């Protein structure tokens, strides 16, 4: 019996740790061959498979894989049509899976990738296929339902909190009026932007304002708050989600002049929110401003990861194999928190329909009444996820990565 | 006898290692008190001094200081008028220095800061003051004359090369047409942008094009090169200096609509080059694009530093004290490379006039003939400077910093 595994959606720093978990657990569970889909389901449809037994044939390669950011197998943003509308892709996938004698199918991804698992397992059930389909969660956005959190979030949150501490130090050195606006990923859920609240501590004043997509945003209200803050404090550092929206539902970045396009899932490309708001501050206040977009750095920062996150990413990969081995299909692996202090977490499974195509947002009771900061329940939730480090292997001064070709 | 030390200009990740070097060497050389200027010469003129004996009274604080990015003492961009034009500031400075019984005056900074040391030592000589003035080089820009390189450059270069490797991995996962343009600091000298060439190796295809301010830039020529490159390769990653200029001398970013202002040294605020070029690519080619500005992250990335750089930053601080102790004044410390392989480096001194207000650019013979890449002499020059790491002290998941207040 052989196994296949793919990666889909936006990369994370630890998505390859899940791949390592799937690979090692599958081999241990008796899989003869473990195939990787090149570029996810899109590559599978073109018959592009990688032989992971050959690519990961030494222990050192597994360790490198855990320390290599971004999808080792390549990724895609490919949405399967509904089987009722067009069965051809499904026929092709199942014929390929039979050809390669695949018993278990694993897909590492976020919301949209769980949709793929859901459709394939549903179709498989309908045609009586014995192949088992299991989803392995990953996303820096942390917006999956049911699971306590998603692998990928902890490392991205650690990067965000770390660079916010550094940006705050940089922004205060001149002792002059200065508004720094940092734009952080998160289309509809502000989990990653909220992680900037972790920067505050005895050695850091922390960020001064956090703007989440969960809370309707007005430019006037924003400028009023910044004006009030800068009367008390010269350097103001603000974390703003790329997804903040006006009360009428438009994204704030749509107010600016930036070029926009739409991906195959219909998501608008969001960028320019920080720049737009910095320009508005420069016009309204007597202050220098700076807009910083963390951009892709926050999702590919393999040089600064959370060891907790890497360990859990590896564990969910292994748990997915155990779920398939025990006969489950059409499920996703979840992380189940047992306690906050001390932090303890285990894995579980959930029917894929309960997780696909939903988005988990931040509970409003975790946001303060003026909508500028996170409350202690959020900090207690997020702090354990950024603990400990797993440094890269440095070769000649730079992190060394493993590549598939 | 007491000592005073200040930090000036843009922060770096290792500027505090030089402060640690000055502090420890000065105490060892017999200085009773070591004062820090809050916000450099600007703060000194207001009598704002910090008592470093109290702030750095434990070994652990020195170690934290070495691992804390951005200017611990605060910084300024303050240009002294010429003494012939206005003597009042000079009188004030020297009266304060006498009041605090200062024997040696150290200033850690770049080009503009060396101008301050030059003016003060010149004035001191003229009035017969016994106070000795020594400049301690720092700048991520690496644009100081005479010195082989500047403390601060190695860590910023390591950050740039590391995140370029990560960005390249992120940009290739979808296997689609994609042009990523990364904007890197460096107004007139492209040293930091050139460091992106270090990303290439057996595990990374490296960046596809490097655009330096040393080479006149045309948008048409740029688009032609990108078009040709994308015919061979779908994901193109380009490192572009914020300071690239058109043949008529205008900055490329002046073609865009961004808000601009000018600092007290008359430098224009440069930003938006990558965004402008990404938009031009999107218009001219059938490709997705992404603009990434590394922004302040590249100069405050205390979480990813070069141990070589930190060690040298500490050494130049100590060498400045030894220079003053040996009777020198009106000099700056330099780094003198003894050999490339193995890398060996020592410190020297240079008359401050030979270093202040000049800018060192990249030799054109280190750039390839098509102006897209760096040649081996540059790699041999830069590679030793990014070697080895000095990780932060992590507390509760984040780098811990020392603060002055």
pLDDT at position A270, please? Answer: 72
Distance CA A272, CA A277 (A): 9
Per the CB < 8 Å rule, is A297 touching B166? yes
Decide yes or no: CATH 3.40.50.460 for domain A153-300: yes
| CA gap B193, B185 in Å, rounded | 7
Instruction: Give A184's strand partners.
Output: A241
CA distance A97 to A35: 10
A257, pLDDT greater than 80: no
Q: Which residue's structure tokens are 């500047």?
A: B150
Give me the total of CB pairs closer than 8 Å, taking one residue from chain A and one from chain B.
Answer: 189
Overall average pLDDT of the A79-104 stretch: 97
> B274 contacts in A (CB within 8 Å)?
none
pLDDT of residue B310: 98
pLDDT band at B175; cut points 50, 70, 90: very high
- In this structure, which topology does domain B2-148+302-358+386-399 adopt according to CATH? Rossmann fold (3.40.50)
Which of A347, A185, A203 has the alpha carbon at shortest distance from A269? A185
pLDDT, tens digit, for every residue of B299-343? 999 999 999 999 999 999 999 999 999 999 999 999 999 999 899
pLDDT of res. A109: 96
**Nearest CB partner across the interface for B162, out of A74, A174, A303:** A303
B289 strand-pairing partners: B179
- Tens of pLDDT, residue by residue over A156-194, are 999 999 999 999 999 999 999 999 999 999 989 999 999
What does pLDDT average to over chain B?
A: 95
| The domains spanning A2-146+302-356+387-399 and A153-300 adopt the same CATH topology | yes
pLDDT at residue B259 greater than cutoff 60: no
Residues of B in contact with A290 (CB under 8 A): 295-296
Residues in chain A: 405
Whether the predicted pLDDT of B35 surpasses 70: yes
Q: Domain extents for chain B? A: 2-148+302-358+386-399, 153-300
Burial of B266 (0-12, 13-18, 19+ CB in 10 A): exposed
Per-residue pLDDT tens for B261-281? Answer: 555 555 566 778 999 999 999
CA distance A23 to B81: 67
C-beta atoms of A398 and B303 within 8 A = no
pLDDT tens digits, residue range A193-205?
999 999 999 999 9
Chain A, nearest residue to B11 by Cα: A170
Q: What is the pLDDT of residue A269?
A: 66
Q: With 80 as the cut, is the pLDDT of residue A260 above it?
A: no
Q: Return the pLDDT at A256.
A: 79
Which among A39, A293, A398 has CB closest to B174? A39
The closest of B298, B312, B302 to B385, measured between CA atoms, is B312
- Topology (CATH) of A2-146+302-356+387-399: Rossmann fold (3.40.50)
Contact yes or no for A173 and B295 at CB 8 A: no
Name the burial class of residue A21, with classes exposed (0-12), middle (13-18) and buried (19+) by CB atoms within 10 angstroms of its CB. Answer: buried
């Amino acid at each position: 019996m052989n196994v296949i595994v793919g990666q889909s959606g936006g990369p994370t720093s630890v998505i390859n740790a899940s791949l390592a978990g799937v690979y090692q657990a599958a081999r241990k569970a008796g899989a003869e061959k473990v195939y990787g889909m090149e570029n996810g389901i899109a590559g599978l449809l073109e018959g592009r498979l990688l032989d992971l037994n050959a690519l990961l044939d030494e222990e050192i390669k597994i360790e490198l894989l855990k320390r290599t950011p971004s999808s080792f197998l390549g990724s895609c943003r490919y949405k399967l049509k509904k089987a009722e509308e067009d069965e051809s892709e499904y026929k092709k996938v199942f014929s390929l899976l039979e050809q390669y004698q695949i018993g278990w199918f694993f897909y590492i991804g976020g919301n949209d990738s769980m949709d793929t698992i859901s459709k394939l397992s549903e179709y498989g059930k309908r045609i009586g296929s014995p192949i088992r389909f299991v989803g392995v969660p990953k996303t820096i956005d942390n917006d999956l339902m049911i699971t306590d959190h998603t692998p990928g979030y902890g490392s991205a949150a650690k990067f965000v909190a770390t660079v916010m501490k550094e940006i705050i130090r940089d922004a205060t050195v001149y002792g002059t009026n200065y508004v720094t606006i940092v734009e952080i990923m998160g289309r509809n859920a502000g989990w990653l932007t909220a992680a900037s609240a972790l920067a505050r501590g005895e050695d850091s004043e922390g960020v001064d304002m956090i703007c989440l997509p969960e809370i309707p945003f007005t430019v006037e209200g924003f400028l009023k708050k910044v004006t009030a803050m800068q009367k008390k404090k010269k350097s103001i550092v603000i974390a703003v989600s790329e997804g903040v929206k006006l009360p009428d539902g438009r994204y704030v970045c749509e107010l600016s002049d930036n070029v926009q396009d739409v991906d195959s899932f219909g998501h608008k490309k969001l960028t320019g929110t920080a720049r737009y708001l910095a320009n508005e501050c420069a016009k309204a206040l007597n202050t220098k401003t700076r807009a910083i977009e963390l951009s892709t750095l926050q999702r590919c920062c393999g040089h600064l990861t959370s060891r907790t996150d890497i360990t859990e990413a590896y564990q969910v990969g292994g748990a997915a194999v155990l779920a398939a081995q025990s006969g489950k299909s059409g499920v996703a692996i979840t992380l189940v928190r047992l306690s906050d202090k001390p932090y303890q977490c285990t894995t579980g499974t959930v029917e894929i329909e309960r997780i696909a195509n939903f988005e988990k947002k931040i509970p409003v009771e975790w946001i303060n009444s003026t909508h500028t900061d996170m409350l202690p329940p959020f900090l207690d939730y997020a702090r354990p996820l950024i603990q400990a480090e797993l440094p890269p292997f440095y070769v000649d001064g730079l992190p060394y990565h493993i590549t598939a070709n």
